[in-house]
Chains A and B, each alone.
Chain A
Amino acid sequence: MVDFSYTFLIPLIPLVVFLITGLLGMKWKPMVSGIIGTVGLLIAWLLSLYTGYEYFLAHTVEHYQTIIPINMLWLSFTNSLQIHMGVLIDPISVLMLIVVTTISLMAHMYSLGYMKGETGFARYYAFLSLFTFSMLGLVLSTNIFQMYIFWELVGASSFLLIGFYYTKPSAVAAAKKAFIVTRFADFGFLVGILVLSFLTRTFDFSKLTEPGTTIFASSAGVTFMGVSALSWAMSLIFIGGAGKSAMFPFHIWLPDAMEGPTPVSSLIHAATMVVAGVYLVARLFPIYHFQTPQVLIMIGYVGGFTSLFAAIIAMTQFDIKRVLAYSTLSQIGYMMVGLGVSGFGGDHGLGYMAGMFHLFTHSMFKALLFLGAGSIIHAVHSNEMKDMGGLRKYMPITHITFLTACLAISGVPPFAGFFSKDEILAAALESNKLLYWTEYITAGLTSFYIFRLYFRIFWGKNTDYGHHTPHESPWVMTVPLIFLALGSAFGGWIPFHDFVTPDLAPMVHKMEWLDTIPSVLIGLVGIFAAWYLYKKESSRPKAVVDFLGNLHTWAYHKFYIDEIYLFITRKIMFGMIATGIAWFDRHIVDGFMFGVADVTMALSGKIKKFQSGNLQEYAFVYVAGALALVLTLLYVFVK
């Protein structure tokens, strides 16, 4: 087996590119930065593919090894508190390496066309490289603290990219919202890390997730508010993951994050960064499974609820990027469900495998959907569905690739989404009927909303585009589309159960083709419903909306979650609590200090009269004092 020590280059290359383009990019022609970024990432991509080949394919093994080629001491506080930086190679990190570099390469290449002529082109590529560096550092982390640092870096680069159009108020607001919401969740993550490491005295993943480890024995009796401290720690860590992965109720930032450039949405807010939470849960899966199974079940329910909730909202939205954003939420919910229902070892690890599998296929087809949407927006200059229609004639490549992605997400065989989604459903069916039915219904809703999108963009009414006829995008944009379409079409045939399992041993798993019939059927029902309603412009959608009445209104307004947040923050936190605290600060704290000052001033105002500077008064006091003294002495001695 080769020594994997070269893998540190994979995150390092984007970092170097970031420094070069960030510092010098202003001086060059914009395209130079773009090409440097793309070429740098191409090298990282090839290295990742080589790593994947070496790790998974070059040697047949019974049991995959967790390899730590590099682990250098980074911060040494005390003998027991030391933080390392390193590279950890195991199935899920190699999988993520390939996913991140592939999607990132596609986004880099696509942006050469999409962002052409934008101001700040070099800055854009510098940020993309920074993000790629952070994400690769995150997936290769050897310990949870290193992961936290890269986790925050990812959040920061996401903030920079959402707010790329920083002159647009809505983009600035969206960037702030994303940063604040995820930071708020990351606070939970940090507290969770601290509690977990306090209990176990280690940060290292390899020690924490070792099967049959005894480091949790000391924390067995520690409880807080009736729940074990370890459960608190793992729940708090999941809150961090839920923030990044936009699980309910932290989902509010993701739809707004679509203010960023579309390739950014594709890379960060669909394929890579938002699955960091899934990756985190997968990384700590042995702890969740063996130590805190109840937290794992809760993760499953959060994922299930989010997937259904987001799918319902996605059906009612008109901004195509928002539909895709809610679709992303829904699909990440699927992954969480997969992890939540999973067991450990042998066939029981099906959910885990399926969750990671779905992460892989989802990154392909969702990146493709976003890049396709970008291509459409590039051609039509609008995000709104009502400005589109009949585009299949103008944009054949975009049309075909978009259709591939739609079929993949709907779970139509033999496209990629079918395999992964079906295995999640199979895993859910075995362990949790409620989650199974939730995800089953969500599968139908998914195919409905995505084909609603498809039919409204490419079929439907023939919009008059006037003198500005939409045209197909340049080749730098269509090549990534085609590549990802191939991934979406054939990615499902990768035998994932041979590669990614919770116990690192290849799983003997046979797909039950007969069991897949119901899920395929509901997918087809969804597609048919969308076809019936949106194939041609008609009054049918309106009739459905009228029939649903308030239900549609609520979903259209995203169940007023944003309003609830605003109510809580503005009215309750700012309006009541903060006002009270501000009153206390102004009147009690400041009042005390002002009081001290006022008393001093008043006292000195009185005292200063003694120092009038009026000699006559001094003389009077002097004489009076002298007289008093003399009279006293007389009284004492003469009497």
Chain B
Amino acid sequence: MAQRLTNRVDLLDPYEVAQLGGIELAARGVVEGFLAGLHRSPFRGFSVEFAEHRPYQPGDELRYLDWKLLARADRLFVKQYEEETNLRSMVVLDVSRSMDWVGGERRLTKLEYAKRLVAALALVLLRQRDATGLIAFDERVRSVVRARARHGHWWQLLAALGELEAGQGTVAEPALRQVTDLLRRRGLVIFVSDLLLDKDLALLALQHLRHRGHQVVVFHIMDPAELSLEGPPEARFEDPETGGAVVARPRELRGVYEETVRRTIDEWRSSCRGGGIDYHHVLTDTPFGYVLRRAAASRSRFG
């Protein structure tokens, strides 16, 4: 059992995964496990325009296997198509102060969780030879890594992720606007944030991207402790970004607070769905493999 669990790092508790090593090791382990559990490649559309061959890897659909080449050269290759090979994706990562928070022991901060998730996503995309870039933002754009598909680009992304530290407030529009400049062709935009920002402005920017033909996936990162209101009988709850505070009694407000959070998540989900945006609510204690699987499943709808 222990061996099996070790092989499926993607299904381990994120905190335990983080204990295995740095972002690179964790992401690689997650992706290996994730791909091993799939019957087909993730994030893959369908196109009739053949582009090139590439070596077969576990998870690739057998229907794309070049049987002729197998018969002729006894080597496993799959066919790739034009649309897929040219997929360009950009990960937009929120590194605001609110992301640098953890609500309990043996748990990752939202930012640490997001970094590993982004690293895993990038690895999956790059393995498919999809060009992948990164934009990190708080009140302004903090870091930009242009989308590339070449071998070794993942290490550049990892280096950028490793250098990122929590900033201040959250303003997503400049980062999303910059995506438009960086992705001139239709591509995939992955927005990773705790969504503690101006919802209307952010949605407007995401819908703008969608209208430009990009596929948009939103990962709403939340700490499980944010779902409920705990604390002393009466406390002054302070926003780490704005410094604003509310004095409240958790016991009195817990029920309605939970209702408000649920309603907010539902609003994000319905707003995204209405705008053709793929929305995923992710808690920081969710194994990375589940998140990748859900994202892959829904991504196939946009193909």
Whether A and B are associated in the same complex: the answer reads no
